[in-house]
Amino acid sequence: MKKTLFAAGAGLILLLGACSKDPDKSDFKKQTADFINKDNGDVEKQLGTTFSGAKCDEPASTAVGTKYQCTATAEDGTAWTFDVEINGKNSFIVNSAAPTGGATTGDTTAAAVTTATT
């Protein structure tokens, strides 16, 4: 998979691409978890901590507007929740990220990531 970064406005965005098929629900689930876990990635840069063990709910569908959540553990052991929404045929946006049961911390605005298979 090839990844290219570009700036965006109000969330963390990942665009999914596939040569032979449209992404399915499991693609969104896996790519979102990978996006959150990525060392030195946009999530880490925006929130100021690394994350591991990201697990995402499988979205109910791949339709634009479908929302789902992910959880991950920050470097300090704090559990975080990420609210995600499918915002295009091949993309999603992380709308918010916060410690589970706590107030939002860090900068939750972010940059975008484009992903395409070759």
pTM: predicted TM-score of the whole model, two decimal places: 0.73
Q: Tally the domains of the chain.
A: 1
Q: Backbone dihedral region of 48: left (phi > 0), alpha (psi from -120 to 50 degrees) or beta? A: left
**Mean pLDDT of the residues in the chain:** 77
87 to 5, 17, 21, 41, 51: CA distances (angstroms): 18, 14, 18, 20, 23
Quick one: pLDDT band at residue 79, thresholds 50, 70, 90? very high
Give the lowest-confidence range in 17-21, 28-32, 52-56: 17-21
| Full residue range of the structural domain in which residue 79 is found | 2-116
- 3-class DSSP state for residue 103? coil
Relative to beta strand 91-99, strand 12-15 is antiparallel
Give the lowest-confidence range in 37-41, 78-82, 85-89, 107-111: 107-111
